[in-house]
Amino acid sequence: MAARRVSMADVAALAGVSGQTVSRVVNDSPRVDPATRAKVESAMARLGYRPHRAARALRTGRTQTIGLVASTLATVGNSRMLQAVADAAASRGYALVVVTLGHGSDVAAAFDRLHDQGVDGAIVLNEATDLVRDAETPADLALVVVDSPRDERFGVVVTDHAGGARAATEHLLGLGHATVHHVAGPPASFAAAERERGWREALAGAGIDAPDVARGDWTAASGAFAGAALAVDRSVTAVFAANDQMALGVLRTFAESGRPAPDAVSVVGFDDVADAADYRPPLTTVRQDFDALGERALERLVAAIEDAAEPAYDVIPARLVVRASTAPR
Amino acid sequence: MAARRVSMADVAALAGVSGQTVSRVVNDSPRVDPATRAKVESAMARLGYRPHRAARALRTGRTQTIGLVASTLATVGNSRMLQAVADAAASRGYALVVVTLGHGSDVAAAFDRLHDQGVDGAIVLNEATDLVRDAETPADLALVVVDSPRDERFGVVVTDHAGGARAATEHLLGLGHATVHHVAGPPASFAAAERERGWREALAGAGIDAPDVARGDWTAASGAFAGAALAVDRSVTAVFAANDQMALGVLRTFAESGRPAPDAVSVVGFDDVADAADYRPPLTTVRQDFDALGERALERLVAAIEDAAEPAYDVIPARLVVRASTAPR
DNA sequence: AGCGTCTGTGTTATCGTCAACATGGAATCG
DNA sequence: CGATTCCATGTTGACGATAACACAGACGCT
């Protein structure tokens, strides 16, 4: 019962070589005779040998593990990022440990925990611009931050929020709306700021003064609240919400005020969550490519860990998806 | 720059004791003189000592790491479970590694990966009843499965799906509806089967023959598809959908058929996702307590790992949340 | 007084792997 | 043809922590 696990020594004994040779086979060293390699490999297969991560980590100082830091996993965007990162990590042989920020939103504590875990690097989903900016980044930890301003201390991967927002706004203007109102995300959010910037740029490009923004906290409830104020203003015919869930709230309050989309108002969201196509009406929105984002973040992180690559800056495009919540004015 | 990490030996030297004594302090052994303990602790604090997980794992065979297995993390339920489990694990000093099933849905491969990682135990989010049933469970891995039939080989923690479904159905019957139609989840899902069972039981209890069920795949799109068929049948006045997203689809197609809830039809969902209160109309649904579920699963798992506790079976209640999508007939 | 027991601490060996160095032979060179 | 290089492999000794054992002194018992 107490079958001790198979170690390198067992494989070495069966193959009639030294442990070091087994190690070389395992690590794909070129310095191994093909015949020897075959012998060792068959011995490994026969015994069902698996390298012992902890032992290797102890010896090499590398754990083949990366951390993912997020304030919460309960949002659609974060969980889709997580999924993408998890898949990408698995395919490269890295384990992924998840660290969520406590209620204190204490990034330093999160880095501390990662340090404890001995991760080789970390990906941070940066929901508040100053999250990472203020925390001193541990020197010995490779870092890639998602949705952050460019920074030379760590890699950065971002969705083109501003570009997506511009496309959304221009789409609405193109439909003949005199202006476009905006329900923005929380002030601390980098993504929210970028989306707002894109919206302003599009309006400025059309020579239109930007109206006051309403501000929500990404939840549908906050979108509904903001929408209630907009709905009573008959001059509002087009609303760009900074995410789909707030758009959902906007759709609801406009409908309840007797001004349903798309006849009385056009609404655009951001993200393209799975449900967006089944909102009423189906929501025109900007699709974020979470898979590409996660994949790229991991790729950069692994490059930093394994090849000491310099921090890079990558922008992933976002694409407008037109559905039924927008119509010509 | 290349500051080697602080090891136990460094602490021991500074405190003027042996490494073993430091180890005893770290592990809260009672066999340490309070004065000595204080000396060691101050030395640890001064040097900023952190135990080296890999070294400890190598020696003890315990990694203080658990795995979470899920087919996907992109669903609301799974990501909320993940969040709950991550928090609970962190508070107990366990790291959490996430393993998603490949497209092959190959549980054996997932266990394999966990084995590689050397986790002490795993929590499986069981979306298909036969997921775990068929896989041979590794003997040396403590296991807790969420949403599975009772099993003596591993711990099981489940939401009371049937009870919640019964409450939902009885709520609708209590409003005067002659019968309740059901949009069920995928056939392989344990949760879907249980919710369907609860629905049937409630109808049977009222002496009503259960109508045919429509079947979706948890997505809003599949709910819309099922809803389209139901909406043309004027005798349908009450629908219980097996999750909120399908309920969203049902709401949409009924509205588009000129039969909006709650006047023409009453709709109940399951889960209480964050957006449900902002569906149009706000959705009456059954709230799952994901936090309790995750917390309990982790508690049982840790008990199994640390105290070799016997597999337990826990049921977490679900609660009806009445909103505006249901009305008297 | 003599003996066992308990307490706090130190010593030694080991977990599985890999880096650094060592070795012996074949191939290549001037 | 001796010297040099290269190649495939082996030997040794950590990495950091802890389990098992050892031991000296304090204490209590008969």
Examine the pLDDT at B42 and tell me if it is beyond 60: yes
Name chain A contacts of B81, Cβ cutoff 8 Å.
none
Percent of chain B with pLDDT over 70: 94
Report which of B312, B329, B280, B2 is spatially closest to residue B157, judged by C-alpha positions.
B312
**Close Cβ partners of A149 (under 8 Å, ≥ 6 residues apart):** A129, A156, A190
- Looking at this protein, which amino acid is placed at residue A323? R
Examine the pLDDT at A117 and tell me if it is beyond 90: no
Q: How confident is the model at residue A135 (pLDDT cuts 50, 70, 90)?
A: low
Q: How confident is the model at residue B116 (pLDDT cuts 50, 70, 90)?
A: confident
Average of per-residue pLDDT across B258-267: 96
Minimum-distance residue to D16 (CA–C1'): B55
What digits encode the pLDDT tens for the residues A11-34? 999 999 999 999 999 999 988 999
End-to-end CA distance of chain A: 75
Examine the pLDDT at A2 and tell me if it is beyond 60: no
Q: How confident is the model at residue B2 (pLDDT cuts 50, 70, 90)?
A: very low
- CA A35 to C1' C26 (Å) is 17
C-alpha dihedral sign at B88, B89, B90, B96: negative
What digits encode the pLDDT tens for the residues A199-251? 999 999 999 999 999 999 999 999 999 999 999 999 999 999 999 999 999 99
Name chain A contacts of B74, Cβ cutoff 8 Å.
79-80, 83, 274
- CA A31 to C1' D4 (Å) is 20
A278–chain B nearest CA distance, Å: 6
- pTM for the whole structure: 0.90
Report which of B250, B283, B260, B221 is spatially closest to residue A260, judged by C-alpha positions.
B260
Neighbours of B92 (CB within 10 A): 14
Protein-covered nucleotides of chain D (CB closer than 7 Å) are 7-12, 14-20
Helix ranges, chain B (H): 8-15, 19-26, 34-47, 53-60, 76-91, 107-117, 130-134, 161-174, 190-205, 220-231, 244-256, 290-307
User: What does the buried/exposed string (b/e) look like for B193-204 if buried means 16 or more CB atoms within 10 Å of the residue's CB?
Assistant: bbbbebbbbbbe
In whole numbers, what is the pLDDT of chain A averaged over residues? 92
What digits encode the pLDDT tens for the residues B239-261? 999 999 999 999 999 999 999 99
Residue B74: which of A79, A249, A256 has the nearest Cβ? A79
Nearest CA in chain B to A56: B54
Q: Match 């707002």 to its residue by tokens.
A: A196
Higher per-residue pLDDT: A154 or B102 = A154
What single-letter DSSP state applies at residue A146?
E
What digits encode the pLDDT tens for the residues B144-186? 999 999 988 899 999 999 999 999 999 999 999 999 999 999 9
Higher per-residue pLDDT: B88 or B104 = B88
Greatest pairwise CA separation for chain A in angstroms: 85
pLDDT at residue number B130: 63
What digits encode the pLDDT tens for the residues A178-205? 999 999 999 989 999 999 999 999 999 9
What digits encode the pLDDT tens for the residues B286-313? 999 999 999 999 999 999 999 889 999 9
pLDDT at residue number B233: 96
Neighbours of A322 (CB within 10 A): 14
